[in-house]
């Protein structure tokens, strides 16, 4: 089957410079600037964890995450990518819960402590977007084939015998996920919408070495 793109009026688009996390965490384009600002502030606070004050005050500009919440996680010797995803869930009112099948993914380049790209999977489908790109959907292949995280001008790749695309895949060592009770309301509205249309096939992006 081809990829699908979302055609609804609430589509996330280039109004947000970092639309992937706006869709994954909120889905509400009217709040794109707030989501984007808090996302970037959280990432910067994590990178500067050693300079944060030793107290339980919420970091200015954030809604929930405190100085010590970050310090207690990122002052440890060994960083786990899922730690960043847990903090993202806290800040954006998403409840981690196992065995729901609702997964929020992050792509972390080697050495990164905050996601380069965010996307979601549920019910056998994978969803994401990029700046100046529609929200896209495809069959989920182990959370590795984020359908908008490719160059749409590259050559079309064939499908396997099960109809799954043989697209460019991220490698397992550069992705992490956390399961949540449910996604944000506007994200769910988009997922459950009937306003999806087929688009071009999944694409071969083996030249995108910078993604892995």
Best CA proximity match to 127, nearest among 80, 193, 83:
193
pLDDT top residue among 198 and 38: 38
Provide the 8-state DSSP code for 101.
-
- The 10s digit of each residue's pLDDT in 47-97 is 999 899 999 999 999 999 999 999 998 777 677 899 999 999 999 999 999
Contact 7, 189 (CB under 8 A): no
Q: Over the range 18-31, which residues count as b (16 or more CB within 10 Å of their CB) and which as e?
A: ebbbbbbbbbbbeb
Instruction: Report residue 211 as tokens.
Output: 């993604």
Helices (H), the chain: 19-25, 32-47, 67-74, 81-91, 185-191
Domain containing residue 58 = 4-211
Give yes or no for residue 6 having a pLDDT over 60: yes
Is residue 10 predicted with pLDDT exceeding 60? no
What is the chain's mean pLDDT, rounded?
83
> How sure is the predictor about 147, in pLDDT bands with cuts at 50, 70 and 90?
confident
More confident residue, 2 or 173: 173
The percentage of the chain sitting over the pLDDT mark of 90, rounded to a whole number, equals 57
Question: What's the average model confidence in pLDDT over 142-171?
Answer: 65
Question: Which helix (H) or strand (E) is 139 found in, with range?
Answer: strand 136-139
| pLDDT at residue 162 is higher than 80 | no
The span from the CA of 123 to the CA of 110, in Å, is 29
Q: Shortest CA distance to 26 belongs to which of 191, 179, 187?
A: 187
pLDDT of residue 212: 40
Tally of domains within the chain: 1
């Amino acid at each position: 089957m081809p990829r699908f793109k979302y055609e609804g009026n609430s589509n996330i688009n280039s109004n947000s410079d970092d639309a992937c996390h706006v869709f994954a965490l909120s889905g509400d384009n009217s709040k794109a600037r707030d989501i984007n600002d808090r996302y970037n502030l959280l990432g910067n606070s994590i990178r500067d964890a050693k300079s944060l004050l030793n107290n339980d005050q919420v970091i200015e500009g954030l809604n929930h995450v405190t100085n010590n919440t970050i310090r207690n996680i990122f002052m440890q010797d060994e960083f786990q990518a899922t730690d960043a995803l847990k903090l993202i869930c806290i800040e954006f009112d998403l409840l981690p819960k196992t065995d729901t099948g609702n997964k929020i993914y992050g792509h972390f380049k080697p050495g990164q402590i905050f996601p380069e790209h965010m996307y979601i999977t549920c019910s056998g489908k994978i969803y994401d977007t990029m700046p100046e790109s529609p929200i896209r959907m495809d069959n989920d292949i182990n959370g590795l084939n984020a359908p908008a995280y490719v160059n749409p001008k590259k050559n079309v790749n064939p499908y396997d015998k099960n109809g799954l695309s043989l697209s460019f895949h991220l490698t397992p060592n550069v992705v992490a996920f956390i399961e949540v009770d449910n996604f944000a309301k506007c994200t769910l509205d988009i997922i459950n919408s009937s306003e999806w249309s087929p688009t071009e096939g999944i694409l071969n992006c083996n030249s995108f070495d910078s993604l892995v």
